[in-house]
A and B are shown apart, each in its own frame.
Chain A
Amino acid sequence: MKYTTFNQKNTDFMLEPMFFGNPVNVARYDQQKHAIFEKLIEKQISFFWRPEEVDVSKDRMDFQGLSDAEKHIFISNLKYQTLLDSVQGRSPNIALLPIVSLPELETWIETWSFFETIHSRSYTHILRNLFTDPSNIFEDIVENEEIKRRAADISKYYDDLIFATQLWQTQGEGTHEVNGETHIINMRELKKKLYLCMNSVNALEAIRFYVSFACTFAFAERELMEGNSKIIRLIARDENLHLTSTQHVLNLWAKGKDDPEMAEIAKECEQEARDIFLNAVQQEKEWAAFLFNNGSMIGLNEEILCSYVEYIANQRMAAIGLGQPFDVSSNPLPWMNNYLNSDNVQVAPQESEISSYLVGQIDAEVSADDFDEFEL
């Protein structure tokens, strides 16, 4: 079905599935099939922040004092996070917007991606402060084998879905040959690709960020690189919200509260979904090994970090009905939670409910006294 930017057909969005129904026309939020997505938009916008607001100047001195092993850990994590947010800043838009069918979900996807671009800009903000010229850091992201391996796995499911959607929207259902390769395009296959892609994104938001988060906060526990830590806290708060959204999508499907065919696919592909998650866990453990290959840092080593990955994977997998495959019952890094608590994220006056800071604030209370000085 050809994509149209304004579907001329009058559709009842209350009857549309989240994806692969009719394309959205009017961006209206007066009636919502899944109201949760508008609540997520509101919450996400209330989190708005700019990297420039966070002073990272003291980090430069801290960084000079780190050991080589610690510098390697710090910079490698920044590189990996840059990759993750580069992917997330564009892919939900490119992969999901062409197939989304609900206005509130469409706007959520755009809001979500926009916040990932704030994250990307903050990595440049951090690196510019540490290095006069950070260009070799960025260049290494596409050359570093450890990062490339992860990038391939993360982008694979997006790329698959994007390509199949393009074929479907230009050629329709059927068997198509492109560059000597045969592709079978039908709705079932498209929905399967969407399901696997959503699981891969969910695993990304659920665990892939957390190895880096743990290292950042381990530096902060030693009062090092605190500007960076403030930024990562803001990022972690956003990522927690993004994770909530992918958990909602997956559970709406699995519980038959959206497209009934997606409920079937969720059952059929459960093992594949689990494998996507377990594979991400494995890759994150390998990443932890790579981080510590020059030596550990105070408060953190490969073993503890791997057990934290398992712990958090248990939580995240249980949330989407995949059980708890790992034998870790208590949090090996309990201090992490202090950094992930939104109360501890500093709130600027203009973000809280002080009306004097609101732009264009109008006093809507009018009493009889207000006319005392008027004379006719």
Chain B
Amino acid sequence: MNKDKQARSISVTNGPSFLSTPDHSILDDLEVQGIEVEYHCREGFCGACRCKLISGEVDYTLDPLAFIDDDEILPCCTIPITDITLAI
């Protein structure tokens, strides 16, 4: 997934910061950290996992069908391409 396979820092506002794992979605990483995020489809079409991207940039691993507002991302189908901060 992650073209340069580089680990990026993921910070959660009022929560922990940790490094991303290449080849895993942000949602996978959050779950490994024990952070509860709502999810349903894990394929970008339901939007249940949508959360706010406070800073940084992400790449979509598929074409998301769910509605996503300008400041939101779907962690189930994104990987960080810079260090990012999320509000969940």
> A-side interface residues toward B, CB under 8 Å?
36, 39-40, 43, 237, 240-241, 243-244, 247-248, 251, 315, 319, 330-331, 334, 337, 340-343
User: B42 near A43 (CB under 8 angstroms)?
Assistant: no
Residue ranges of B at the interface with A (Cβ–Cβ < 8 Å) = 36, 38-43, 45-48, 50, 63, 65-67, 69
- Chain B hits for A36, CB < 8 A: 65
Q: Is the interface of A mostly helix, strand, loop or mixed?
A: helix
Asked if residues A343 and B42 are in contact (CB atoms below 8 Å), the reply is yes
Collect the chain B residues with CB atoms within 8 Å of residue A340's CB. 40-41, 46, 48
With A243-B46, A247-B47, A330-B36 in contact, do A43 and B65 touch (Cβ < 8 Å)? yes
Can you spell out 14 A-B residue pairs with CB atoms less than 8 angstroms apart? Answer: A43-B45, A237-B41, A240-B41, A244-B47, A244-B65, A244-B67, A247-B47, A251-B69, A319-B67, A340-B40, A341-B40, A342-B41, A342-B42, A343-B43
Whether the Cβ atoms of A244 and B38 lie closer than 8 Å is no
- Complex partner residue of A39 from B38, B42, B46, B63, CB under 8 angstroms: B63
A244 and B66 form a contact (CB under 8 A): yes
Cα distance A244–B43 in the bound complex, in angstroms: 13
Residues A341 and B65 in contact, CB atoms below 8 Å apart: no
Residue of A nearest to B72 (CB): A319
Query: Which among B39, B65, B69 is the interface contact of A241 at CB below 8 angstroms?
Result: B65
Q: Which residues of A contact B38 (CB under 8 A)?
A: 315, 331, 337
Q: Is the CB of B46 within 8 A of A244?
A: yes
Cβ of B36 and Cβ of A39 under 8 Å apart? no
- Docked CA distance A243–B65 (Å): 11
A248–B47 Cα distance when bound, in Å, is: 11
Bound Cα distance A341, B48 (Å): 11
Q: Which residues of B sit under 8 angstroms from A251, Cβ to Cβ?
A: 67, 69
- Determine the chain B residues whose CB is within 8 A of the CB of A247 once the complex forms: 47, 66-67
Minimum CB–CB distance for B79 against chain A, Å:
18
Min distance, Cβ A190 to any Cβ of chain B, angstroms: 25
Q: Whole-angstrom distance between the alpha carbons of A337 and B40 in the complex? A: 5
When the two chains form their complex, are residues B42 and A319 in contact, meaning their CB atoms are under 8 A apart?
no
- Indicate if the CB atoms of A248 and B48 lie closer than 8 Å: no
Residues in A with CB closer than 8 Å to B47 are: 244, 247, 319
Decide: A40 near B67, CB < 8 A? Known: A331-B38, A337-B39, A342-B43.
no
In the assembled complex, the Cα of A319 lies from the Cα of B36 at a distance in Å of 18
Tell me whether A319 and B50 are in contact in the complex, defined as CB-CB below 8 angstroms, given that A36-B65, A247-B67 are known contacts.
yes
Interfacial chain B residues near A237, Cβ < 8 Å: 41
Contact B65 A39 (CB under 8 A): yes
Rounded to whole Å, the gap between the CB of B77 and the closest CB of chain A is: 12
Q: Which residues from chain B contact A331 at a C-beta distance below 8 Å?
A: 36, 38
Q: How far is the CA of A248 from the CA of B66 in the complex (A)?
A: 8
In the bound complex, residues from chain A placing their C-beta under 8 Å from that of B67 are 244, 247-248, 251, 319
> Shortest distance in angstroms between A205's beta carbon and chain B's nearest beta carbon?
11
Contact partners of A243 in chain B: CB under 8 A: 46
CA distance A247 to B65 in the complex (A): 11
Complex Cα distance, B48 from A241, in Å, reads 11
Report the minimum CB–CB distance from A259 to chain B (whole Å). 17
Query: Of B36, B39, B50, B69, which one neighbours A341 at CB under 8 angstroms?
Result: B39
Q: Chain A residues near B66 (CB, 8 Å)?
A: 244, 247
Closest chain-A Cβ to B68's Cβ sits at a distance in Å of 10
Give chain A nearest CB distance to B12 CB in angstroms.
14
Which residues of chain B come closer than 8 Å to A319, judged between CB atoms?
Answer: 47, 50, 67
Contacts of B69 in A (CB 8 A): 251
Which of A240, A248, A330, A334 has a CB less than 8 Å from the CB of B40? A240
Distance, CA A40 to CA B63, complexed state (A)? 11
> Bound complex: CA of A150 vs CA of B65, how far in Å?
30
Select from chain A the residue with minimum beta-carbon distance to B48.
Answer: A315
Q: Least Cβ distance of B15 to chain A in Å?
A: 13
Give min CB distance, A211 to chain B, whole Å: 16
